Amino acid sequence: MSNAPLSAPCMWMRGGTSKGAYFLKQDLPQDTAERDAFLLSIMGSPDPRQIDGMGGGDPLTSKVAVVEPSSRPGIDVDYLFLQVFVDEAIVSDGQNCGNILAGVGAFAIERGLVVANDGETTVNIFMENTGQVASCVIQTPNGVVSYRGGAAIDGVVGTASPVAVTFKDTAGSSCGALLPTGREFDNIDGVPVTMIDNGMPVVVFRAEDMGITGTESRAELEENAELRKKLESIRLQAGPLMNLGDVTERSVPKMTMVSAAQQGGAISTRTFIPHRCHASIGVLGAVSVATACMLPESPAYGLANIPEGELKTLAIEHPIGNLTVLLTTDQNNNVENSAILRTTRKLYDGVVFGH
């Protein structure tokens, strides 16, 4: 029987195209097992519908941010991302989340961890899952977080204040190297793949090599049992090759099938994260796919439209629009850093109750 607390102060926020619970670390049990039992309980997991909790029955709405003041030089707050699995009793810190990240700056200001300027406030965030730093620029007229604004991102209806996010040192975040096998291309089950990690471990391969066009809807792909079996076979073999070990119970690597862009972007994607098809694409997942597009031997390269110049704008198309990634490259086309636009929204602030 767990000693999980009955309740904790909590802010529910949309971060980019994800949604979840934001906590101050001090408000959660310090013991990991107790913390995880509490988080499973508030989300209503394990249950595909999460009917007895706040989760939305989807990995994208069953997410948690744990935030605390940072003691690192130049860093404002430390952020730990936790994925609460929907239909399994698993809480995993084994991946980062660039969407939930989009709410962390605003949350830190709201909770008094960062003092806002009049205008814009940059919040430097240490991402504990992968040991890297992101900078988020939050709109703070009169020193107060403004959620209303004119920025739109695909996958979210309407507009909101922009949150500009910059990543600097994401290569090899979880796998130890941008290309954990040392190669731009490998072969698994007869399928040419690029195993890459520029912030998120992703296996990138062509949709046509999996017997699909890459234009299918999320629902259509999730119903394709044969495809899902093939994806899982490749994923389980990719895990150890990517220095991730046995990934049977992990939410990485993500599986991205690419095809030629349909809407004038750089490339089109369909991503499994890893067992459900993403409604769009993850932030750091998109950064990793954009980076794969730059590698001449990657199966993505021949399909991708890559602009000239050292600052490259790549629209990564997904089932419901695109996620635009800005890559800064050096003269040899190596990616030095990346930036994306997100929005966030405070939905609820109060107390959440466990069992």
Binding site for ligand NQM (CB under 6 A): 17-18, 60, 97-99, 200, 251, 254, 273, 278, 282-285
Closer to ligand NQM by Cβ: residue 60 or 109: 60
Interior/surface letters 187-201, b for 16+ CB within 10 angstroms, e for the rest: ebeebebbbbbbbbb
Structure-token match 């860093």, residue found: 75
Terminal CA-CA length for the chain: 11
CB of 315 to ligand NQM, least distance (A): 16
Structure-token match 């040192």, residue found: 169
CB of 100 to ligand NQM, least distance (A): 6
- Name the 3-class secondary structure at 153: coil
Tabulate helix, strand, coil % of the chain (nearest 5).
20, 35, 45
Closer to ligand NQM by Cβ: residue 4 or 314: 314
Give CA–CA dist 275/228, Å, rounded: 7
Q: Is the dihedral of CA 153, 155, 159, 161 positive or negative?
A: negative
CB of 273 to ligand NQM, least distance (A): 4
Interior/surface letters 162-180, b for 16+ CB within 10 angstroms, e for the rest: bbbbbbeebbbbbbeebbb
Closer to ligand NQM by Cβ: residue 218 or 278: 278
Between the alpha carbon of residue 108 and those of residues 17, 66, 138, 149, 292, the distances in Å are 19, 10, 11, 20, 33
Q: Which residue is nearest to ligand NQM (CB)?
A: 282
CB of 58 to ligand NQM, least distance (A): 10
Q: Greatest CA separation found in the chain?
A: 60
Closer to ligand NQM by Cβ: residue 17 or 174: 17
CB of 56 to ligand NQM, least distance (A): 13
CB of 325 to ligand NQM, least distance (A): 11
Give CA–CA dist 3/67, Å, rounded: 22
Closer to ligand NQM by Cβ: residue 284 or 290: 284
Residue 270's DSSP bridge partners are 257
CB of 101 to ligand NQM, least distance (A): 7
The residue length of the chain stands at 355
Closer to ligand NQM by Cβ: residue 170 or 329: 170
Closer to ligand NQM by Cβ: residue 269 or 329: 269
CB of 104 to ligand NQM, least distance (A): 12
Q: Do residues 260 and 303 make contact, with C-beta atoms less than 8 angstroms apart?
A: yes
Closer to ligand NQM by Cβ: residue 4 or 247: 247
Task: Show the tokens assigned to 261.
Answer: 């862009």
